Structure 1
Amino acid sequence: MAYCGKTQRQLQIRLKTLKRTHGVSLNSFPRRFRDQKSARTRLVGGHKVSAPDNVGNVHDAVSIIPTLSIADTFVDFGSRIGNVVAQVALETCVGRCIGIEFQDNLANMSKLLIRGARVDFPNLSKVTIHEADLRAMRPAVREDIDGCSVLFVNNIVFEPTSFAALGDFASSAAGLVLVVVMATVCGRHRPTCPRNFCSVWTLRQRIDVQVSWSSQLHHAYWYTRVVEPYI
């Protein structure tokens, strides 16, 4: 795990200096600070993000999500160091962003870094990070995300049991209206597919997005409900 060599205090001073120079609004910052890729790198407090720690450059996949309102809750399964939930909290009017991360070191890191940046970026107060296993979530965590409306998952490296848990959650979350994943949930889908996920969700669009781990474009999959939920 590599770091940039600066302490949290030094990074906080840097952020305050930027505020004095450019103002408190992110819109007044130079483009390099507002660019989605740059913003995600800075929000993790100077941590040098490598591919195993990072979700990659998935901002294109997140950008296809329709306009979010204060009534929406955005959930990211496998949130790693919190890049995506921070991005959504800062750039949309979403009510809450919840990250679910299995690895305790990454979950604790994201909590620390997001907490430290809230003074300068108040919208990060919308973000909650839970250390949890998608396959065996604690009741309190499950209750917290049950009302989510949008789910994002970089599930490229998911094991079969995690894919199954993802499908079960998406099929049972009553308020969920949109699912965006980086690997198709049902690789052998057919019109008569018996999976619960396929009876509830339909693939609306497949888009090509840039990712950090490859020079080639990667697919992202946008699912909507077969029938809109009653909430």
Structure 2
Amino acid sequence: MRTNFTDAQDKRIVALALEYESQHKRVEWKEVARAIRSKHSVQALENRLRALKRTYGRDLSRFPPCFFSTSTPTLSHKQHLRLLEPSQAESAIRDILSNVSAADARQQAGKTDENAGEMLPDAISSVIQMIGAVHRDYVFLDIGAGLGNVAAQFAIQTIARQCLEIEKRPEVFLRGVHCLREHAPRMLLLHKVFLSQGDVLDTPLSSRLPFQRAPKVSLNDFLFDELAKLAVQEQLYMMLRVRLIVSTSRYCPRHRDSCRRRFCSKWRLAKITYGRGSWKSPPIPMYMYTTVQRLEIIVR
């Protein structure tokens, strides 16, 4: 079927519509039109999504992988796509989130697990250094993303192809979306970031695109309740492509060689470093887990 929509426009339509659907909300097509900056009418954009659904099915999260990939930028955009040095990236993230107040991220009374505690930019640089080499085909996933600053800094500081985020609280998710969209026209690398709102308790990360494609995962799960932590551990066990995890929680702190937990049969603690978080003054530990085979290579 002939269409006057480009592949890049189709990808943006799908990505933006998926953001709304993940929150169980109707798509605000005027907002989509503004975000895409297309000459197409609002009705044309809506009709295009209907046509894509007729071809690929109604579940946007199960669209072919090509809809969640990024294309090679045109030469005219290259000046906006230069990777930033750590100090530059840290400054950029502080600028992106400069209008976010403490009240925007504070949890409701008695719901500590809903505190959008953020890792500060210098701590994120430590995580990136901890992770090591990043290839162009890598997909990075941040679970418990808060305002999305981890994936955003990963996007502007590394050559990873796509940086994914999932956050539980709709209001925090939307605040992060607003901040990133506001700066994306001037910092095109932010278009590598894909945000999703959802709860890890009912989101099958191991079987849902694009999350299942991530080989490296960041977890700001220090404030997760125990049920959510167990759910994440189970998903990480089943995610076949994941080879490295950086978490603000230590799993199985009394681990022994004889441990029979499923998580421990696949993952081993390889390294610990420290960084600052917005919810605690002293430096917090960050734990890097690698698969058992990967750990053996490091030891050798």
> What is the TM-score normalised by the length of structure 2?
0.61
TM superposition shift of 1:107: 1.2
TM superposition shift of 1:48: 2.8
Post-superposition CA distance 1:15-43 (Å, at most 9, x none): xxxxxxxx8577899x97x251x322212
Are 2:94 and 1:53 equivalent residues in the alignment?
no
Post-superposition CA distance 1:115-141 (Å, at most 9, x none): 221110101111100101111116898
The letter for the 2-side match of 1:56 is M
TM superposition shift of 1:217: 2.3
Partners of 1:40 and 1:94 in 2: CA distance? 17
Partners of 1:143 and 1:41 in 2: CA distance? 30
Matches within 5 A, 1:164-203: 164-203=230-269
- Gaps in structure 1 of 5+ consecutive residues: 1-22
Contact kept, 8 Å, 1:81 with 1:109, in 2: the verdict is yes
Are 2:209 and 1:146 equivalent residues in the alignment?
no
Q: Decide which moves more: 201-210 or 58-67.
A: 58-67
Of 28, 31, 41, which aligns to 2:94?
41
Post-superposition CA distance 1:152-187 (Å, at most 9, x none): 011111111111111111111111111000111223
3-state SS of paired residue (1:105)? helix
Cα distance change, pair 87–196 in 1 and its aligned pair in 2 (3 A): same
Contact kept, 8 Å, 1:72 with 1:96, in 2: the verdict is yes
Post-superposition CA distance 1:64-117 (Å, at most 9, x none): 111212211100001011111100000000010000001011111222221221
Are 2:149 and 1:96 equivalent residues in the alignment?
no
Cα distance change, pair 200–177 in 1 and its aligned pair in 2 (3 A): same
Count of aligned positions: 203
The letter for the 1-side match of 2:138 is D
Radius of gyration: which is bigger?
A: 2
Identical positions, percent: 22
* Structure whose residues are more often helix by fraction: 2
Partners of 1:113 and 1:105 in 2: CA distance? 13
Contact kept, 8 Å, 2:119 with 2:150, in 1: the verdict is no
Partners of 2:166 and 2:83 in 1: CA distance? 29
- Gaps in structure 2 of 5+ consecutive residues: 1-78, 107-114, 295-300
